[in-house]
Amino acid sequence: MSVLQVRGLTVRLPGRAAPVLEGIDLDLKQGEIVAIVGESGAGKTMLLRSLCGALPMGAQIVGGVVRADGCKVAPVLQAPMAGLSPLRRTGAQIADAAAPGGEPPAVLLDRLGLPSGTAERFPQDLSGGMQMRVALARALATGAGLILVDEPTAALDGPTARSVLEVLGVVRALGRTVLMVTHDPALVAGVCDRIAVMQSGRLVETGTAQDMLARPAHPYSVALMGALPGRARRMADAPGLVVAGQERAPVLELRDVALSRDGGAGLSGISLDLQKGEVLAVCGESGSGKTTLARIVARLAPLSAGSIRLHGAEIGAIAPRRFSTDPRRSEIQMVFQDPAASFPPWQTVGQSLPPTDPETLAQASLAAGLDPALMARRPGQLSQGQLARAALVRAVIVAPRVLVLDEPTAALDATVQAGVLQYLNELRRGGMALLLVTHDLHVARILADRLAVLHAGRIVETGQVAQLLSDPVHPATRALVAAMP
């Protein structure tokens, strides 16, 4: 039975010559899971917003027909916390959305694999994977027959991402239909019935998940699937990179770094070295402390114990607020996981950057693969991929010695991700040291020299990337490797 029919859907935004969506034709059947893939700015999220009546201000449907045959539609946002209140318990929020006669929140949460007692917890106390499942439970509670999910696995580690995809299988088993946007078709292929490829606001190809991965026909689909991280080759090591047996003072040293935190992701006994021109990847499950470690290294968060040395000088004892005015502040820069949240929406992107002459800014933008003209736009006018590159420009333009990156490729499509990784590789070839927090072991395989696995706030395994991926020892590492698509 058909749940949704879309014919010729066309959407325009003011000030743009070309439609953001043009001539979209799409059919969805009951119990089907369909994934929409395409590069940043292709119109994937705009399509979801069109189908649930949540178009941005000024956007208009100027053509086409959407028929849902009375089927209720429920959206699930890419950042689930954006749709959940931090002031109310999860069970109460699910009950507020529930249709009359629906299942109790605790039953729904249990169906989606969440532990007993989740209904009594606040959403901000849950991991990213648990928050996504709560958002899905809330959508199910509405009685919606069609659930629209935007990037359900973005920035989740492999095992957690797979558990969320298993939940989508449960949603299908309940007779619901799922249309999701994803940047990782290889990861979702096991649960999807079909994959549809979008380019510049148009659907250019649709087929079964297996056919689209193995035998795409459209040239754009071929390029997109070929750029998937699991199929990309490892980038060459930087010239002059320190190899085993060589003695050289590290750029950055962490010794027994610890952070005590009630009810949060603490850290204990973290010791790491980072050499000039080296890429050290830090991987681990959601909630293991990766972002906490990144913020401590960037001197944006305090530590309870231990030492951090930059070029041999102790900086860990300096409080983050004091370090913000320290002359060495520019030597360690951080790129945050959500670039949109790190730019003030009322300023242009260029105004958010450190004072720089126009020529230097233009050169830095071009080096990052970003059109310098985009610096005159506000963050909301840029795609996720453009914002990711702009965030890199802002961090790199002050010429840091150490660049800390928190999930820089999360939620980026394969082609944009490949461009970002190539730019990071150029930075490290120029001598910059990179601490790369990532949930994606394929990204670590492509770019990193060494890999540190974080589990429950401790580093449980460290070594050369190829060695750890081929012969993991610790159970946490083995679980991450086993979940690689």
Q: In angstroms, what is the C-alpha Rg of the chain?
A: 23
| Identity of the highest mean pLDDT range in 3-12, 241-250, 279-288, 344-353 | 3-12
Q: How far apart are CA 282 and CA 270, in angstroms?
A: 12
The answer to whether residues 143 and 71 touch, using CB atoms and an 8 Å cutoff, is no
Give me the half-sphere count of Cα atoms (radius 13 Å) on the Cβ side of residue 88: 11
Angle between helices 414-429 and 219-226 in degrees, nearest 10: 50
Q: How confident is the model at residue 288 (pLDDT cuts 50, 70, 90)?
A: confident
pLDDT at residue 247 tops 70: no
Q: pLDDT over 70 for what percent of the chain?
A: 96
Question: 340: Cβ–Cβ under 8 A, 6 or more apart, which residues?
Answer: 379, 380, 384, 387
Q: Are residues 157 and 204 in the same domain?
A: yes
Residue 390 inside a domain? The answer is: no
Residue 334 inside a domain? The answer is: yes
The DSSP 8-state label assigned to residue 232 in this structure reads S
Q: Are residues 132 and 35 in the same domain?
A: yes
Domain boundary, last residue among 231, 266, 298: 231
Q: Are residues 208 and 163 in the same domain?
A: yes
User: pLDDT digit string (tens) for 22-51?
Assistant: 999 999 999 999 999 998 778 999 999 999
Q: How far apart are CA 445 and CA 427, in angstroms?
A: 17
Q: Phi, psi (5° rounding) for residue 33?
A: -120, 120
Q: What is the pLDDT of residue 481?
A: 92
User: pLDDT digit string (tens) for 153-200?
Assistant: 877 778 888 888 999 999 999 999 999 999 888 888 989 999 999 999
Positions of E strands within 100-248: 146-150, 177-181, 194-199, 202-208
Q: How far apart are CA 281 and CA 138, in angstroms?
A: 35
Q: pLDDT over 90 for what percent of the chain?
A: 62
Q: Are residues 196 and 315 in the same domain?
A: no
Q: What is the pLDDT of residue 243?
A: 45
Q: Are residues 285 and 420 in the same domain?
A: yes
pLDDT at residue 14 tops 50: yes
Q: Are residues 256 and 225 in the same domain?
A: no
Structural domain total, the chain = 2
Q: Nearest-CA neighbor of 188 among 206, 211, 161?
A: 161
Residue 393 inside a domain? The answer is: no
Mean of the per-residue pLDDT values of the chain:
89
Range of the domain at 303: 252-342+401-482
Domain boundary, last residue among 231, 261, 288: 231
Q: How far apart are CA 117 and CA 132, in angstroms?
A: 16
User: pLDDT digit string (tens) for 471-482?
Assistant: 999 999 999 999
User: pLDDT digit string (tens) for 181-192?
Assistant: 998 888 889 899
Q: Are residues 26 and 145 in the same domain?
A: yes
Provide the β-strand partners of residue 434.
279, 403
Residue 35 inside a domain? The answer is: yes
Q: Are residues 160 and 289 in the same domain?
A: no
pTM as predicted: 0.78
User: pLDDT digit string (tens) for 98-144?
Assistant: 988 888 999 999 989 888 899 999 998 887 788 889 999 999 999 99
Q: Are residues 82 and 173 in the same domain?
A: yes
Q: Are residues 260 and 221 in the same domain?
A: no
Q: How far apart are CA 291 and CA 307, in angstroms?
A: 18
The answer to whether residues 151 and 175 touch, using CB atoms and an 8 Å cutoff, is no
Q: What is the pLDDT of residue 236?
A: 59
Q: How confident is the model at residue 81 (pLDDT cuts 50, 70, 90)?
A: confident
Domain boundary, last residue among 231, 266, 288: 231
CA distances from 47 to 20, 22, 232, 309, 396 (A): 9, 10, 29, 48, 34
The answer to whether residues 373 and 382 touch, using CB atoms and an 8 Å cutoff, is no
Residue 111 inside a domain? The answer is: yes
Full DSSP string of 366-416: HHTT--GGGGGS-GGGS-HHHHHHHHHHHHHTT--SEEEEESTTTT--HHH
pLDDT at residue 204 tops 90: yes
Which one is predicted more confidently, 11 or 248? Answer: 11
Q: What is the pLDDT of residue 263?
A: 53
Q: Are residues 406 and 474 in the same domain?
A: yes
Give the burial string for 85-114 (b: 16+ CB within 10 Å, else e).
Answer: eeeebbbebbbebbeeebbebbebbbbbeb
Question: 281: Cβ–Cβ under 8 A, 6 or more apart, which residues?
Answer: 436, 437, 438, 443, 444, 447, 448, 450, 451, 452, 465
The answer to whether residues 183 and 383 touch, using CB atoms and an 8 Å cutoff, is no
CA distances from 281 to 188, 265, 359, 365, 443 (A): 24, 19, 33, 25, 9
Positions of E strands within 20-159: 21-29, 33-37, 60-67, 73-76, 146-150
Provide the β-strand partners of residue 252.
274, 310
Residue 381 inside a domain? The answer is: no
User: pLDDT digit string (tens) for 362-374?
Assistant: 999 998 888 999 9
Q: How confident is the model at residue 245 (pLDDT cuts 50, 70, 90)?
A: very low
Expressed in percent and rounded to 5, the helix, strand and coil fractions of the chain are 35, 25, 40
Provide the β-strand partners of residue 247.
none
Cα-to-chain-centroid distance, residue 385: 11
pLDDT at residue 240 tops 60: no
User: pLDDT digit string (tens) for 388-447?
Assistant: 889 999 999 999 999 999 998 887 778 888 888 999 999 999 999 999 999 889 999 999
CATH of residue 161 = 3.40.50.300
Q: What is the pLDDT of residue 251?
A: 95
Residue 243 inside a domain? The answer is: no
Q: Are residues 144 and 12 in the same domain?
A: yes
Q: Nearest-CA neighbor of 146 among 122, 171, 121?
A: 171
CA distances from 461 to 110, 245, 452, 456, 482 (A): 33, 20, 6, 12, 16
pLDDT at residue 384 tops 80: no
What is the amino acid identity at position 216? P
Q: What is the pLDDT of residue 242?
A: 45
Residue 130 inside a domain? The answer is: yes
User: pLDDT digit string (tens) for 55-75?
Assistant: 988 899 999 999 987 789 999
